[in-house]
Amino acid sequence: MIKVTAENYSIIKETIERAPTFVYSILDQVIEGAVYADNESFHALLFQTKSGIYYVYGDSSSEQIVNKLGSLLQDSIDQSKRFTLFSYSDDWNTKIEQRLNGLVKKLERYTFTFAINAYNDRERRVSLDYEFIKIKQFQIEHCLEFDNKYYEEYWDSTNNFLGNGFGFCLQQGDKIISEAVSIFKSHQFAEIDIVTDSNYRGKGLASFIAEKFIDYCILNDIQPCWDCDIHNQASYHLGTKLGFSNPQKYAIYIKS
């Protein structure tokens, strides 16, 4: 088991075919994290964010990686910290469930592919009777849900988000009623996270604010990313309306 140095991150970016957005955030050094490999050939890889989110990739027969996962899981149990493990591989799912049996619970999510032609061809709502604002410190202090604690967990700090991430909100007067932010972002990708005040749902706010997020991505040559829980039908249908297609199921594992 070796800890991969940042000098090799560009090699790994060229090697991996598909991964969660936070993996690219680590590799682009937008957020703090670590990358472990079974050997110098990088046949198996483990990605770790500072907040306790992980992703396994490559050769699932690697004993070094699965042993490291077991150690990290035990540390998270002992220290009451987060453990969320992402896997896009059926082979890794089998290995994880065999070795961490009884200690983790499996959940399933979808990741989508963005089809820009489908997005551009859809009908758009030109305006709403609410103020549209890019999120800055003031909006974070008066947020609907995405507060300083949120950015500390996913971005290491609010300042890092303000410097390297982006987000937008809708306000009615001084009240924020909908938000869309990059939960993770790399040089190439940005994953969207949306919340709307329950009193304002059904008005098209989530669709409108998501469009603003996607428009910003397109303008800045960033690939927008959409993931959701397989049981979240509202998010699934909104994503497909916005040009996200070809849902691919993957697994996440959390502490039991």
Q: Model confidence over 146-179: pLDDT tens digits?
A: 999 999 999 999 999 999 999 999 999 889 999 9
The pLDDT tens digits of the residues spanning 11-65 come to: 999 999 899 999 999 999 999 999 999 999 999 999 999 999 999 999 999 999 9
The rounded distance, in Å, linking the Cα atoms of 169 and 150 is 16
Bridge partners (DSSP) of residue 130 are none
The rounded distance, in Å, linking the Cα atoms of 9 and 199 is 45
Alpha-carbon separation of residue 44 from 16, 26, 41, 63, 95 (angstroms) = 10, 17, 8, 10, 13
The rounded distance, in Å, linking the Cα atoms of 244 and 142 is 30
Arithmetic mean of pLDDT, 68-96: 97
Task: Determine contact, residues 68/100, Cβ cutoff 8 Å.
Answer: no
pLDDT band at 124 (very low <50, low <70, confident <90, very high): confident
pLDDT of residue 83: 98
Nearest CA to 54 out of 41, 35, 39 is that of 35
The rounded distance, in Å, linking the Cα atoms of 135 and 147 is 11
Arithmetic mean of pLDDT, 116-131: 87
pLDDT of residue 128: 81
pLDDT band at 129 (very low <50, low <70, confident <90, very high): confident
pLDDT of residue 158: 98
pLDDT at 127 over 80: no
- Interhelix angle 63-78/90-99, rounded to 10 degrees, is 50
The dihedral through the CA atoms of 214, 216, 218, 221 has a sign that is: negative
pLDDT band at 78 (very low <50, low <70, confident <90, very high): very high
pLDDT of residue 244: 98
pLDDT at 2 over 80: yes
pLDDT band at 243 (very low <50, low <70, confident <90, very high): very high
Residue 217 CA, distance from chain mean position: 15
pLDDT band at 236 (very low <50, low <70, confident <90, very high): very high
Task: Determine contact, residues 35/9, Cβ cutoff 8 Å.
Answer: yes
pLDDT at 186 over 80: yes
Q: What are phi and psi of 77, to 5 degrees?
A: -70, -45
Please tell me whether the overall predicted TM-score, pTM, comes out greater than 0.85 for this model. Answer: yes
Residue with tokens 């947020």: 143
pLDDT at 126 over 80: no
Which overall architecture, per CATH, does domain 114-247 show? 3-Layer(aba) Sandwich (3.40)
Beta strands in the chain (DSSP E): 2-3, 33-37, 44-49, 53-58, 84-87, 104-114, 131-134, 167-172, 175-185, 189-196, 223-225, 227-229, 244-255
Beta strands 33-37; 84-87: pairing state: unpaired
Local structure of 185: helix, strand or coil? strand
pLDDT of residue 47: 98
The rounded distance, in Å, linking the Cα atoms of 103 and 49 is 20
Arithmetic mean of pLDDT, 178-203: 96
**Dihedral in degrees, nearest 10, Cα atoms 222, 223, 224, 226:** -150
